[in-house]
Amino acid sequence: MIVSTDIGGTFTDYIIMDSNGLKAFKRLNSKNLEEGIKKEIPHADEFHHGSTVGINALIERKGVDVLLITTKGFGSLYRIGRQNRKEIYSFIPTREKLPVKKVIEVDERISHKGKILKELDENELREKIEKVRCKAAAIVFLHSYANPEHEIKAKKIAEEYIPYVFTSHEVRREIREYERESTTIVEAYIYPIVKKYLDALSQISENFYVMQSNGGKIVPRYLKGINTLMSGPAGGVAASEYFAHLMKLENVITYDMGGTSADIGMIVKGKPLYTSQIDVDGIPIRVTSMDIISIGAGGGSIAWLDDGLSLKVGPQSAGADPGPACYARGGKEFTVTDANFILGILGDEISGVKLDKRLAENAAKRLGDRIGLSPQEISEGVRKIVNNNMALAIKKITLSRGFDPRNFVLLSFGGAGPMHACSLAEMVGIEKIVVPPMAGAFSSLGILLSPLRYDSTITILSDVERGLKLLPSIIDKFRKKVRRIFNNYDLRISLQMRYRGQGHEISVPLCENPQKEFEMLHRNIFGFTMDEEIEIVNIELVATAYKALKIPKVKIGENRIKEKRVYRFEEKIPVYEERRFSECEGPCIIEEDTATVLVEEGWYARKNEYGAILMERIK
């Protein structure tokens, strides 16, 4: 039995693969997440998991006390940061607050070329560190990317006094000292929390794999805490990449609407877009991640009125406890789920939770009475606002990157996503929608299908000729590391290149003529090339190992209407069980075990051989 789980804001999603095939279901999150999973799945032959523990610890500031050990004169760098201003005309610029308890400055210095200018004063470090009581330490020396010798020595001393010690050259061996420092501090802050959580889950199976932000899994022993920050959403994009390939779709917008957030990504020419830096709560973190935009728009998102009595939705969420009002678990606030229930889109039960319409209507009335709207009107208003918020996010991730959303297919999943897909597609001009099988647990399916992956990024800051000469030894060292993790793998090498003097790089796949390829990419992206020397800044190495897992095909039976339900207080429309559905013209509703699909008027839906529901605009 192979099990894959993904923790969302409201539900934990389960995929089970055994001799009977694939099975998907959802369970409300318990207060102790790991105990809830172990109760549901006490043992498995393989266990695959996507975690939100790391990002929650960072956002909620529930990590451990961190000691920062850095080069003398740079102890305030973590507070100063960059000169970027989010509010350009504000007299008091906001600064991200890195979670540092104590700072130690050490007299040492290495040049940007790796030459030791001032030896590390080990006695000074020992004297200072003896007086500090912290659970984790982040060691960040100024030019350790060029020569990590001092960080290695400092780590040996720090480990005598501190349980968890992290060096910047091990976490992210790159230039740009502030981003390297913020990333190392975050790793020190969240890793002990992530490790404790994963240690508890490791009892489920000896073959335990954790999903990373980069779209691949790894065993906990080699996992970095920062690589779990976009763990769940990355599973959704990984599953979307698989289905895009299966259904021969080149350009796809991935749209995952769960209980607390909507996560939107892109697949272009069959491949997901990546980024080398994510920002969490204003903190820049250098980590290879699938390029995903997350907004506070989920089924549990709370509707509220601002000071001017304008209706707003999110980002606050009712979560699993107490949950939406209709869950009858003590929730009083009106949510998106309550709105969909009142309008007849949801039935009386979702994922084992019985819904109470009276409680939903009471919550709608309390909110609507303040602005003179009926429960139906406030429900329609909430849907329009949350749809508009998500449409803006789709436009942001596409148009800002130079893509037209009208040229893409919308792949909609998550427990709430397929209820909003038609409206959302109409707002951004998309003509085709795919709702995959097991849509409400699709991210968990992606975690199961994704490969094992191990990454490394190393700064060399060199001209192209010298950089290519350094490459063989760098590759050899990387291969030795990878062999400890898995045997058979594919290796992908990219050179992050720029014109000398630029502050940004372009990722160029290793090829026969990297300079020519760089100039072509630079012209495509920026419209010009420069008469400047080209240099290699970083070398990025990615090892991936795939498992041969396949989605079984399904038999498509005849349509059989389960019931007719009053929709938007007007006509009754047909409701189908997904297993007894083949095709229909909207409006209609299709219910499966993990999600509900709304086919709106003007759309035609049919099921394909993989169990996906394909929807197209009727011309």
- Residues 64-108 have pLDDT tens digits of 999 999 999 999 999 988 877 777 788 777 777 899 999 999 999
- Is 468 found in the same domain as 379? no
Determine, yes or no, domain membership for 156: yes
Determine, yes or no, domain membership for 389: no
Overall average pLDDT of the 454-482 stretch: 94
Local structure of residue 2 (DSSP, 8 states)? E
Contact between 36 and 479 (Cβ < 8 Å)? no
What pLDDT score does 337 carry? 96
**Token pair of 320 as six digits:** 């699993």
What pLDDT score does 369 carry? 94
Which runs of E-coded beta strand occur in 372-515?
A: 409-413, 432-435, 452-463, 490-499, 506-509
Q: Tell whether the model's pLDDT for residue 583 goes beyond 90.
A: yes
- Is 466 found in the same domain as 373? no
Determine, yes or no, domain membership for 97: yes
Overall average pLDDT of the 472-478 stretch: 95
**Token pair of 612 as six digits:** 């996906």
32 — pLDDT class (breaks 50, 70, 90): confident
What pLDDT score does 238 carry? 92
Relative to beta strand 136-140, strand 164-167 is: parallel
Determine, yes or no, domain membership for 135: yes
Residue 429: helix, strand or coil by DSSP? coil
Q: Tell whether the model's pLDDT for residue 131 goes beyond 80.
A: yes
- Is 499 found in the same domain as 379? no
Q: Among 384, 416, 443, which residue terminates a domain?
A: 384
- Is 348 found in the same domain as 467? no
Residue whose C-alpha is closest to residue 232's, from 488, 498, 450, 490: 450
Q: What is the DSSP string of 287-331?
A: EEEE-EEEES-STTEEEEE-TT--EEEEEEE-TTTT--GGG-SS-
User: CA-CA distance, 236 to 447, in Å (whole number)?
Assistant: 8
Q: Which residue range forms the structural domain that includes residue 537?
A: 462-476+486-545
Domain count, the chain: 3
33 — pLDDT class (breaks 50, 70, 90): confident
Contact between 106 and 132 (Cβ < 8 Å)? no
Q: Tell whether the model's pLDDT for residue 352 goes beyond 80.
A: yes
Contact between 325 and 346 (Cβ < 8 Å)? no
Average pLDDT, the chain: 93
Over residues 266-281, the pLDDT tens digits come to 999 999 999 999 988 7
What pLDDT score does 232 carry? 84
- In the chain, % of residues over pLDDT 90: 80
Determine, yes or no, domain membership for 448: no
Q: Among 195, 230, 245, which residue terminates a domain?
A: 195
What pLDDT score does 321 carry? 84
Determine, yes or no, domain membership for 560: no
What pLDDT score does 493 carry? 96
Q: Tell whether the model's pLDDT for residue 137 goes beyond 80.
A: yes
Determine, yes or no, domain membership for 117: yes
Residue whose C-alpha is closest to residue 198's, from 170, 172, 228: 228
Q: Among 195, 220, 244, which residue terminates a domain?
A: 195
What pLDDT score does 562 carry? 92
Q: Which residue has the higher pLDDT, 527 or 87?
A: 527
Q: Tell whether the model's pLDDT for residue 454 goes beyond 80.
A: yes
Local structure of residue 438 (DSSP, 8 states)? T
Q: Tell whether the model's pLDDT for residue 56 goes beyond 90.
A: no
User: CA-CA distance, 69 to 51, in Å (whole number)?
Assistant: 29
21 — pLDDT class (breaks 50, 70, 90): confident
Over residues 178-189, the pLDDT tens digits come to 999 999 999 999
- CB count, 10 Å around CB of 560? 12
What pLDDT score does 249 carry? 94
Contact between 483 and 553 (Cβ < 8 Å)? no
8 — pLDDT class (breaks 50, 70, 90): confident
Determine, yes or no, domain membership for 247: no
